[in-house]
Amino acid sequence: MAVEIKLESLSGEQSEGVIGTIHKTIGDNINSDEVLFDIESNKGNTAVTPKIKGTIKSLDLQVGDTVKIGDVLAVIEEAEVNEEKSVQVQNDIKEEKKESPTEKSVASTSQKQMLQSDITVIGGGPGGYVAAIQAAKLGAKVVLVEKEFLGGTCLNWGCIPTKALVRSSEVYNDLKSAEEYGLSAEGVSVDMKKVIQRKNSIVNQLVNGIKYLMDKNNITVVKGFGSLIDKETVLVQSEDQDIRIQSKHIIIATGSESSNLPIEGIELPNVITSKEALDLDTLPERLVIVGGGVIGIEFAFIYAALGVQVSVIEFLDSILAPCDEDVCNEISQIAEENGIQLYTSSRVESIAESEDDQCIVTFTKDNTTKYITADKVLMAVGRKPVYNGMNIEKLNLKINEKTRGIEVNEYMQTNIPNIYAIGDATNIIQLAHVASHQGIVAVKNILGKETKMSYTAVPSAIFTQPEIAMVGICEKAAKKEGIDVEIGKFPFAANGKALTLGESKGFVKIIKEKASGKVIGGTIIGPHATDLIAEITLAINNELTVEQIAETIHAHPTTAESIHEAVLASEGGALHFAE
């Protein structure tokens, strides 16, 4: 049957684009997930897949042609079911005398597929897909295994979608504050369904971008659950097929999942994790967040900005406990000014369901039992490594007893020489950009380019309002380790650009090693903090001194000038601020 392939959508919800690349020609066979066209628009590239399998019968477009939503791009003669089976790669796999339960499931299928690779990456998150691309660019034959969606938790249910919600909440706040800027905005409201649609559109655009990169770099992507049969064989299982991959090297990049505490009532329908919180298309009136770490506090600011009554219950004596005391105090004050109720040094005892489907949260603070009711309870108590069901015990792959992550050396190598592990599965630092860098380090070592992983200059970004970013050693850690330091601070209230933005809260803090004058740490709370931290990260990574930064001209008027002023403050005094 002939099927017309039409242009259904473009990046950034654009209505038209230009044909950038045509990957197939008339007469070619094409699979449902193969890229047929790359279409360029003002908001990025879109990889068009046919979503059916068959033979291309008509293809009248040329590179440079303009196409619009709804245009027919090609005509494909859809393959019959028996034709699909006939073109699969099929090889009989010799059965071993002793089979694990996982291997028996392979033996039960009459058709089996075998692939060969130099490097097999298990997990398509920011660590896995970056490792795959790096390996392919260095000439390796790469197979990437992903059980759900390319981009992993970060792209689909973490970093990117939360930042989309952060931006929606920021715009909503700006519209409500229009009068402060001499403007008028009436009838401002939140349409949560459209907020979620925008979030999903951004995620889909980026996922399609990764698919495009996989195709451009000739990376074979296999969808299914990956496990280890032996140190050179990966079994991938999905609903419709089992595939074995013979691989010289394996990189485990299986990520992490939400942790939960053993709290009575945690299984109630209105108790959710961050994953469900990203798809709430109806705002709750009241929300209780259990956990005052990065995930919990980011969601607290998002939902409070959208008009939800938010309460945060944190076991420790401060929210965002790893931060310095001055940062914790600053963000706590700002949170409370934004209507977020904070209960620190508090322990959740149970969650119950009322007759009207409300959640009743029982917790203790100062030896007193307290109660809060809410429409939803968000559990945000951290994440744990994922590697269950992968047969790592069979291979005696070593697990770090303290962190419960897969143990690796500075080359990202496990105790089995040809198997590497990266990202949250190692539970060293649970950050997407750390996973990506670990992936690059692992690949370089596999391919003979000796590289060590360093955690000296790893920036952290917290998307509260205002943002928080940190890198290197913090002030309290420096004191604990007995490092003699000098501190330079500069408030955004004295920065011209921050005042024009209407975002004057917060400060920049520079940690200088007194003996050498080198920058060894920095913290920023304020506008553009997560972008500004890159300068301090670069300084630490290259062992720059505060004098070298002080001698660097910073553009005016910019928020980056606050870094320059904080550096000057560590050297004897800022120019534009006096205490």
Q: Which residues, in sequence order, are CB contacts of 197 under 8 Å at separation 6+?
A: none
- 28, amino acid identity: D
pLDDT at 434 over 80: yes
pLDDT tens readout for residues 151-168: 999 999 999 999 999 999
Q: State how far the alpha carbon of 431 is from the alpha carbons of 113, 181, 295, 468, in Å.
A: 35, 37, 12, 15
Rounded Cα–Cα distance for residues 471 and 521 (Å):
6
Query: Residue 110: its pLDDT value, please?
Result: 33
Between 572 and 444, residue with greater pLDDT: 444
Report the pLDDT averaged over residues 84-111. 35
Query: Residue 579: its pLDDT value, please?
Result: 77
Query: Residue 88: its pLDDT value, please?
Result: 37
Using a pLDDT cut of 90, give the percent of the chain over it: 76
C-beta of residue 231 within 8 angstroms of C-beta of residue 102: no
pLDDT at 257 over 70: yes
Cis omega (within 30 of 0) on the bond before 385? no
Could you state, in order of their start, the residue ranges of all structural domains in the chain?
2-83, 111-257+382-455, 271-381, 460-570
pLDDT tens readout for residues 269-323: 999 999 999 999 999 999 999 999 999 999 999 999 999 999 999 999 999 998 9
Give the closest residue to 284 by CA, choosing from 265, 267, 302.
302
Q: Which residues, in sequence order, are CB contacts of 462 under 8 Å at separation 6+?
A: 294, 297, 298, 320, 468, 469, 530
Report the pLDDT averaged over residues 516-526. 97
pLDDT at 243 over 90: yes
Write out the two tokens for 195: 């907020």
Report the pLDDT averaged over residues 390-394. 92
Question: Considering all CA atoms of the chain, what is the largest pairwise distance in Å, rounded to the nearest integer?
Answer: 80
Helix and strand numbers, DSSP H then E, in the chain: 15, 30
pLDDT tens readout for residues 133-145: 999 999 999 999 9
Query: Residue 27: its pLDDT value, please?
Result: 82
Q: SS in 3 state form for 356-390? A: CCCEEEEEEECCEEEEEEECEEEECCCEEECCCCC
Query: Residue 63: its pLDDT value, please?
Result: 73
Domain 460-570 is of which CATH architecture? 2-Layer Sandwich (3.30)
Query: Residue 90: its pLDDT value, please?
Result: 35
Rounded Cα–Cα distance for residues 531 and 509 (Å):
15
Q: Which of 8-12, 183-187, 419-423 has the lowest mean pLDDT?
A: 8-12
Q: Which of 41-50, 177-186, 351-360, 437-446 has the lowest mean pLDDT?
A: 41-50
Q: Which residues, in sequence order, are CB contacts of 226 under 8 Å at separation 6+?
A: 120, 122, 123, 145, 147, 234, 235, 236, 254, 390
Q: How confident is the model at residue 112 (pLDDT cuts 50, 70, 90)?
A: low
Query: Residue 44: its pLDDT value, please?
Result: 54
Domain 2-83 is of which CATH architecture? Beta Barrel (2.40)
Q: How confident is the model at residue 371 (pLDDT cuts 50, 70, 90)?
A: very high
**Can you point out the beta strands (E) in 473-570?**
485-491, 507-513, 519-526
Report the pLDDT averaged over residues 426-453. 96
Q: How confident is the model at residue 263 (pLDDT cuts 50, 70, 90)?
A: very high
Report the pLDDT averaged over residues 80-101. 37
Q: How confident is the model at residue 106 (pLDDT cuts 50, 70, 90)?
A: very low
What backbone phi and psi angles, to 5 degrees, belong to 160? -70, -55
The SS3 call for residue 220 is strand
Q: How confident is the model at residue 83 (pLDDT cuts 50, 70, 90)?
A: very low
Q: How confident is the model at residue 92 (pLDDT cuts 50, 70, 90)?
A: very low
Q: What is the mean pLDDT of the chain?
A: 90
pLDDT tens readout for residues 24-79: 888 888 887 677 887 876 555 677 888 888 888 888 888 778 888 888 898 988 88
Rounded Cα–Cα distance for residues 206 and 571 (Å):
44
Query: Residue 95: its pLDDT value, please?
Result: 37
Report the pLDDT averaged over residues 493-503. 96
Task: Write down the pTM of the prediction.
Answer: 0.79
Which residues are known catalytic residues? 556
Between 441 and 80, residue with greater pLDDT: 441
Q: Which of 37-51, 115-129, 149-163, 530-544 has the lowest mean pLDDT?
A: 37-51
- 340, amino acid identity: I
Query: Residue 108: its pLDDT value, please?
Result: 33
Write out the two tokens for 49: 């897949």
Give the closest residue to 365 by CA, choosing from 312, 436, 306.
312
Domain boundaries 271-381, corresponding CATH code: 3.50.50.60
Q: Which of 7-21, 462-476, 528-542, 549-563 has the lowest mean pLDDT?
A: 7-21
Compute CA 155 distance to the chain's CA centroid, rounded to the nearest angstrom. 5
Q: CATH number for the 111-257+382-455 domain, one of 3.40.605.10, 3.40.50.1100, 3.40.50.720, 3.50.50.60?
A: 3.50.50.60
Q: How confident is the model at residue 13 (pLDDT cuts 50, 70, 90)?
A: low
Q: How confident is the model at residue 572 (pLDDT cuts 50, 70, 90)?
A: confident
CA atoms within 13 A on the CB side of 409: 12
**Can you point out the beta strands (E) in 304-433?**
309-313, 341-343, 346-353, 359-365, 368-374, 376-379, 383-385, 419-421
Same fold, 111-257+382-455 and 271-381: yes
